[in-house]
Amino acid sequence: MTYKIAILGASGYTGAELVRLIATHPMMHVVALSGDRKAGMTMAEVFPFLRHLDLPVLQKIEDIDFTNVDLAFCALPHATSQAVIAALPRSLKIVDLSADFRLRDPAEYQKWYGQPHTQPELQAEAVYGLTEFYREDIRKARLVAGTGCNAAAGQFALLPLIKAGVIDLDNILIDLKAGVSGAGRSAKENLLHAELSEGTQTYSAGGKHRHLGEFDQEFSKLAGRPVQIQFTPHLLPMNRGILATVYVKGDAQAIHNTLLSRYLSEPFINVLPFGTLPSTRDVRGSNFCHLGVIGDRIAGRTVIVSVIDNLTKGSSGQALQNANLMLGVEEGTGLMLAPIFP
């Protein structure tokens, strides 16, 4: 059985990462690629690193024939995705990598994204794509909304702790370090090599980063009461990788035990021995998440470090994992690539 796949928005980094992963997937075949401004170009021109693959030429979305497509990945910019997905055939399974369908509440969407949602029915239908926590819903879903990459890194560390009640819900702080590919391939002065290399700074600090909408939604839902965290992202001079340093009040050993037992049978979430903390290098290019726990010298305070590759487990790898579930394929298919180091 081979499933026919379309990738909308294939000229960006997450689109290319999907192609890279699907290249060795034994049951998926890419039949259509869209790239609006680059329609008519081959992928070898847009991404020479994919030159060895036999891939369809980039098209405009409206020129794609979806009748033979089983599943579409939608890797388009935020806001654009709503109208595009609304226009796709209802028979199509869709994994959306944008932010458009992550938030359940239209008011929250408007608050964080600054405009009203235009497709509230689709918003209601979409399943939140954090695989390890919505697996059964995703299996049955037609439309899955991939999580924010930062939101994924933070939730892997925190969801089991909130559920187990082992941390103080009013004192959660995430100081996050993110590689630059998370900002996408758009030509902006602040993303130039000369601006970004050899230094670091915060971005969207002070509680303004949009992934807070996801944290609020998921943490509050799980806790059964409002939970607000502090979250300060930093941009680092590296291409891939997210490291979330999560500060909580709670017993370190209990926290480690909780994570260890929760993730025991999860193939992609790896809890390190107590006191060992992970590096982003150890998950680069892979779908793995490494989690480490250490107690602070101040009793009752614990630091959890969560690392993922933003383009893989944080975006395209997660999307493929969800697509596997939606198509009834074994969940890890095409995703067992080892990280690449150095």
Nearer to its own copies (CB atom), residue 73 or residue 101: 73
Among 188, 221, 223, 328, indicate the residue that binds its own copies (CB under 8 A). 188
Among 135, 239, 254, 331, indicate the residue that binds its own copies (CB under 8 A). 239
Check: CB of residue 314 under 8 Å from CB of residue 308.
yes
Check: CB of residue 95 under 8 Å from CB of residue 323.
yes
Least gap, CB of 88 to its own copies (angstroms): 27
Residue span binding its own copies (CB under 8 A) among the ranges 77-85, 150-158, 218-226, 269-277:
269-277
Q: Map the footprint of its own copies across residues 191-210, applying CB under 8 A.
A: 191-202, 205-208
Least gap, CB of 130 to its own copies (angstroms): 20
Catalytic site positions:
149
| CA distance linking residue 211 with residue 214, whole number of Å | 5
Among 111, 230, 251, 260, indicate the residue that binds its own copies (CB under 8 A). 230
Instruction: Give the torsion sign (CA, 176, 232, 237, 188).
Output: positive
Check: CB of residue 113 under 8 Å from CB of residue 79.
yes
Helices 211-223 and 106-113, axial angle in degrees (round to 10) = 150
DSSP-assigned letters across all residues of 203-246: -STTTT-THHHHHHHHHHHHHTS----EEEEEE-SSSS-EEEEE
Nearer to its own copies (CB atom), residue 140 or residue 193: 193
| CA distance linking residue 14 with residue 97, whole number of Å | 8
Nearer to its own copies (CB atom), residue 7 or residue 196: 196
Nearer to its own copies (CB atom), residue 119 or residue 228: 228
Among 7, 16, 69, 75, indicate the residue that binds its own copies (CB under 8 A). 16
Q: Map the footprint of its own copies across residues 283-312, applying CB under 8 A.
A: 283-286, 288, 290, 294-298, 301, 303, 305
Nearer to its own copies (CB atom), residue 130 or residue 235: 235
Output the six-digit token pair for 222: 């799980």
Least gap, CB of 32 to its own copies (angstroms): 19
156 touches its own copies (CB under 8 A): no
| CA distance linking residue 41 with residue 251, whole number of Å | 55
**Torsion angle, alpha carbons of 294, 298, 302, 306, to 10:** -60
Nearer to its own copies (CB atom), residue 93 or residue 284: 284
Q: Map the footprint of its own copies across residues 62-121, applying CB under 8 A.
A: none
247 touches its own copies (CB under 8 A): yes
Residue span binding its own copies (CB under 8 A) among the ranges 104-112, 119-127, 190-198, 313-321:
190-198
Q: How far is CA 145 from CA 99, 129, 130, 316, 331, in A?
A: 7, 5, 9, 12, 17
Among 8, 43, 47, 141, indicate the residue that binds its own copies (CB under 8 A). 47
